[in-house]
Chain A
Amino acid sequence: MSNPIKKALRNGLFRVESGWDTLVGRESNPMYCLGAMSWFFFWVVGASGLYLFIPYDTSAVRAWGSIEYISKEQWYWGGMIRGLHRYGSDAMVLTMMLHLLREWLLDRYHGARWFAWFTGVPLIWMVFSSGITGYWLVWDELAQYLAIGTAEWLDFLGIFGQSIARNFMNPGALTDRFFTLLIFIHIAVPLFLLFAMWIHILRINRANTNPPRQLVIGSGLMLVLLSLIHPAQSHPPADLGKTTALLNPDWYYMALYPLYDTKGPLIAWAVAIGVTVFLSLMPWMVFGRKRRAAAEVSPPDCNGCGVCTFDCPFGAVVMRPREDQSGHEKIAVVQPDLCTSCGMCMASCNRTNPFLPGGENRKTGIDIPDFTFDLMIKRISARTHGLVGNNRVLVLGCEHGAKLDHLRGSSVGVLELHCTGMLPPSLIDYVLNKDLADGVLVTACRPGECFYRLGPEWTELRLAGERVPKLRGAVSRDRVKLSWAASTETKWLMGDLAEFRVALAELPKPERPTTTKRRVAE
């Protein structure tokens, strides 16, 4: 992280998220699934919109009345559905913009992730277009303001044969056909939006589009209650013979309009296009950051099991037919453009096992060139060499999480990994079995805060024996500890380490086979 402002903001974000975890519980913290929350609100808006389409009258004269009828006469149902439609769309904008901000703060927008970022930018335009056309349909004074403002703004481009703003010259200029067109646009744009949202997550393996059930229930209830307590209201009906004066805009959608009013269409277009172009090009504006070499498959060591394809967070590893004499039907193939070099594939490979015979240069089926499995074992040997005491600990963690160097001591060795997800569980077994340390502390970023995606989740499941490769059942769980710690939680992690060491000191000395020898390779 090069930018100190960004670093400070990111640390602030981690503190907020940590505080929120304490307040509401980790599973109910929407910050870890802002994209999925946007999906959820999209479905809420879509479902409520389908209902609202039934009583809506696509007529310039009766549109306002039809909305007003269901809002006032059916406040308990139609009005509530209208509230869900409006507040759901507002919540979608809020979570979408927070999602954008958070991905930027966590540096998750460049490299192999350019595609998701780049395809996410048009979604903003589509969401705003959907919302603005929806507000037109109400045909109240706010709609009049938006319709004229948007039409003038578009007319400035001079690419339309007829002036759009002339449709709103006087009450007689507006036809029912225009409202039919409008509702068509208001339905068509969200359908395109859905398609674009699918493209947005296309290159993400196991994309999370469903928030946890607690959040779905809680947010849904919140929207229902809000719709009943504070129902969505219309302004007085539009009158093209009168100016719009005092308005209550929905600022989630209309923040750019006052800029147009005060600065004119040129500035408004310059800001809109400038921000869009800037956001779109951001993945390529990351300077001075060297991209790590992509994972490499070693064909003689790959048995085509396919586990690496399940674990890769970006679908960078695929299985292809194999035609050599190995006897295996398939082989893993890395798509370098999609690879973030996180190493999760290496950890998932069943050849990534230090107990397998390998000589001085251990090979595995899929490896990370700048941090090979062999190098990892050698570094572990080096970092544990010379540790003293009966509560020696090896700390293994992610370079994006807590500052592990601060934990180093005479009884504590540390090894930073690209991601904790690149740690094969058999390595923990190896450390304890070879008496390199008395305990292993595995630390990872909190789930949802992983720089790469899924590293903490895979680590937790592997250590719990719920996902292959599993930590062997015979490994004493008293000697293995998993701690979540963000980059701002180094002090907290130090406390956790101290507690772990106290607990280790109280454990009886394990009995090891006499043939077990300490292996120092580096």
Chain B
Amino acid sequence: MIKPQHIAGQALAYTAFAVMIAYFASSPAYHHHSPDNALVRLSLTHAGQRLGDCKERSPEELAALPPNMRSKQSCGRERNSVTLEMDIDGVTVFSQTAKPAGLSGDGRSRFYDSREVPAGRHLIRARMRDGNNPAVFDYDELIEVELAPRQVFVVDFDEENKKLSFE
């Protein structure tokens, strides 16, 4: 049973408790991205080309294999590392080489980056190397875009059409 002298104290204590819970449940406000800026997000997973060429198996080699494993070509599993670079308005803002995932190095290379840019017109260029020639970028795309405030602009790789994509 609550003693009369404690009623006011309890009302005060519960009010303070409620105010504390309610306040920090939504305050103070937090500014994540500036509402005047856009966001360029680069999110890409891509498997590099295989390191070695595939070899045709001879009939003898095929015969030595179990029936369910008799594929005509023998290909190494390991893949190239993938290099990805991105320029915004002529300035390289992202450059990274990612190893293929997996213990055998046969998985996809993964890239992720997001950065704020002022809203407005921008020239965005992305280039990617997944082959064996270190002097050549196998994919290279350039786009001029008008970015709206708070717009998220995504740079990805379109595996179906085999090209870097912007959306």
Q: A interface vs B, CB < 8 Å?
A: 20, 22-25, 28, 86-87, 90-91, 94, 145, 152, 155, 158, 161-163, 165-166, 169-170, 214, 218-219, 221-223, 225-226, 230, 232-233, 240-252, 258, 261
Contact = CB atoms under 8 A, between A and B. Distances in A.
Central interface residue in A94, A240, A244, A250, by most chain B CB within 10 Å? A244
A243 B154 CA distance: 12
B interface secondary structure, majority: mixed
A interface secondary structure, majority: helix
Contacts of B26: 233, 248-250
Contact of A20 (B13, B112, B151): B13
Contacts of B110: 155, 158, 163
B24 A245 contact: no
Interface string B1-34: 0110010011011100110111011110111111
A24 B112 CA distance: 54
A166 B45 contact: yes
Interface string B129-167: 000000000000000000000111010100000000001
Contacts of A247: 29-32
Central interface residue in A162, A240, A241, by most chain B CB within 10 Å? A241
Interface of B: 2-3, 6, 9-10, 12-14, 17-18, 20-22, 24-27, 29-35, 37-39, 41, 43, 45, 101, 107, 110, 112, 114, 116, 150-152, 154, 156, 167
Contacts, number: 121
Contact of B2 (A25, A166, A258): A25
Given A222-B14, A247-B30, A91 B21 contact: yes
B10 A28 contact: yes
Contacts of B33: 243-245
Contact of B31 (A162, A218, A232, A246): A246
B31 to A, nearest CB: 6
15 contacts: A20-B13, A22-B9, A23-B10, A24-B6, A28-B6, A28-B13, A161-B101, A165-B43, A166-B43, A169-B41, A221-B14, A241-B152, A245-B32, A246-B35, A250-B25
B6 A245 contact: no
Contacts of B29: 246-248
Nearest to A247: B30
